[in-house]
Amino acid sequence: MQEFGNILNNQVLLVALVACLVAQLLKLVVELTKERKFNLKTLFTTGGMPSAHSALVSALAAGVGQTLGWDSPDFALAMIFAIIVMYDAAGVRQAAGKQARILNQIIDEFFQENQKFNEDRLKELLGHTPFQVIVGLILGIAISFLAAPSY
């Protein structure tokens, strides 16, 4: 059990998690500024500005590069992982969100004619725009470099 406790000593992991948390908190601020209302659910949802996924994986990759070297196989692995996650956040998940929006429109039109149908709404904000991913990327790298003295 002591070995599991050592996970709290992993500075790279902790900084990556902090970057993710900061991005989620920034989503709350963006939502408050944009919609003029406080929505606590924003802290626990996917999608939106900035990308917490991008912040997490970019801080992780930057931390690995800083601690083990930019030419290490570990950094290469973390970088490839980060690219896949960010590509997925901006590509596949955003496409799924667009499909959900269209399906929700179909459901809305269906109910206008009093049809019997399951009216559960699909979550439309699944992915990120490329700009949201880039902001998350910059945020993650910045947080990792700010924490660099502790590595």
In a domain, 71, yes or no: yes
* Tokens 């993650």, located at residue: 140
Query: What's the CA gap between 54 and 44, in Å, rounded?
Result: 16
Percent of the chain scoring above 70 in pLDDT? 85
* Tokens matching residue 92: 């596949």
d(CA 62, CA 114): 54
**Which domain covers residue 36, as residue numbers?**
7-91+127-150
Tokens of 134: 């880039």
Note whether residue 106 is domain-resident.
no
Give the tens place of pLDDT for each residue, 75-100. Answer: 999 999 999 999 888 877 677 777 77
Q: Which residues have CB under 8 Å from 83's CB, separation 6+?
A: none
Q: Does 118 map to a domain?
A: no
Give the global pTM.
0.74
Tally of domains in the chain = 1
pLDDT tens by residue, 8-44: 889 999 999 999 999 999 999 988 888 888 888 888 8
